[in-house]
């Protein structure tokens, strides 16, 4: 049986058809874009999760190789991590661990290369700071004192200020700049706080240079 629309219904249908003729294509594409964006976001999150899982597994492998003192294996896995997953936290961790093992083995150039990569590429500011501190120590071992000071002149998070000052003091002391070294050691001593056990190490350095500390009655 035919359905007859009254005039009001016919007018509404006509208005809707006009509206759809005018805006229908735009609405359709807007929905497509929104749904496509949603799917892309879910895909990106899945990709991120998979990246993280693979990076964690590779970091575990670096730790196993380091415990076994298999430095060739450490180098291989760290190389893969920094190539395939450079912005993950695990890449920074692996670089720090690899550098530590290289340094323990006296392979200073490889330690320097690993730490330089972490300092330049790690996504975590804390890892970058640690890398620069340790890189300065490696450069000191290589007697590259100006380069060590250049690393320590970079921007560090505030919580690293005392350790940076201590390391600067070490470099300046090796350069024979006694007064400048004392100034840096005192900054380190002041910044460490009374409960920090490392403060005793800094005080020993000041004592060796014949410099007083507040704990001994003068600054």
Summarised one tens digit per residue, pLDDT across range 9-25 is 666 666 666 666 776 67
Say whether pLDDT at 217 is over 50: no
Maximum distance among all Cα pairs of the chain, rounded to whole angstroms = 110
Say whether pLDDT at 56 is over 90: no
Confidence at residue 1, expressed as pLDDT on a 0 to 100 scale: 47
Say whether pLDDT at 161 is over 90: yes
Confidence at residue 195, expressed as pLDDT on a 0 to 100 scale: 73
The domain segmentation of the chain, as residue ranges, is 51-142, 157-219
Position with higher pLDDT, 44 vs 18: 18
Closest to 168 (Cα-Cα) out of 147, 154, 155, 185 = 185
Contact 122, 154 (CB under 8 A): no
Contact 164, 149 (CB under 8 A): no
User: What is the tally of helices (H) and strands (E) in the chain?
Assistant: 9, 0
The pLDDT confidence band at residue 28, using thresholds 50, 70 and 90, is: low
Confidence at residue 47, expressed as pLDDT on a 0 to 100 scale: 47
User: Average pLDDT, stretch 42-67?
Assistant: 73
Say whether pLDDT at 6 is over 50: yes
Confidence at residue 151, expressed as pLDDT on a 0 to 100 scale: 96
Structure tokens at 46: 């899945």
Q: How many angstroms separate the first and last alpha carbons of the chain?
A: 104
Confidence at residue 52, expressed as pLDDT on a 0 to 100 scale: 67
CATH class held by domain 51-142: mainly alpha
Give the percent of the chain with pLDDT over 90.
56
Say whether pLDDT at 155 is over 60: yes
Say whether pLDDT at 152 is over 90: yes
Say whether pLDDT at 77 is over 70: yes
Structure tokens at 166: 């201590």
Q: What is the pLDDT of residues 93-130, one digit of tens each?
A: 999 999 999 999 999 999 999 999 999 999 899 999 99
What are the backbone dihedrals phi and psi of residue 139, each rounded to the nearest 5 degrees, phi first? -65, -35
Crossing angle of helices 89-104 and 71-84, in 10° steps, is 150
User: Average pLDDT, stretch 203-214?
Assistant: 84
What are the backbone dihedrals phi and psi of residue 50, each rounded to the nearest 5 degrees, phi first? -70, -40
Q: What is the pLDDT of residues 180-202, one digit of tens each?
A: 999 999 999 999 987 778 889 99
């Amino acid at each position: 049986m035919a359905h007859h629309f009254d005039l009001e219904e016919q007018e509404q249908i006509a208005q809707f058809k006009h509206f759809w003729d005018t805006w229908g294509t735009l609405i359709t594409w807007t929905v497509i874009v929104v749904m496509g964006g949603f799917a892309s976001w879910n895909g990106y999150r899945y990709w991120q999760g998979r990246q993280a899982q693979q990076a964690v597994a590779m970091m575990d492998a670096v730790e196993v190789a380091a415990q076994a003192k298999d430095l060739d294996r450490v180098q291989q896995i760290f190389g893969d991590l920094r190539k395939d997953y450079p912005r993950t936290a695990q890449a920074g961790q692996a670089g720090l661990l690899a550098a530590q093992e290289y340094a323990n083995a006296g392979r200073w150039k490889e330690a320097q290369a690993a730490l330089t990569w972490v300092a330049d590429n790690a996504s975590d500011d804390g890892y970058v700071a640690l890398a620069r501190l340790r890189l300065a120590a490696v450069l000191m071992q290589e007697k590259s004192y100006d380069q060590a000071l250049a690393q320590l002149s970079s921007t560090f998070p505030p919580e690293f200020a005392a350790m940076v000052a201590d390391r600067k003091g070490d470099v300046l002391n090796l350069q024979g700049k006694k007064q400048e070294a004392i100034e840096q050691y005192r900054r380190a001593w002041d910044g460490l706080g009374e409960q920090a056990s490392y403060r005793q190490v800094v005080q020993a350095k000041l004592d060796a240079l014949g410099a007083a500390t507040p704990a001994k009655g003068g600054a």
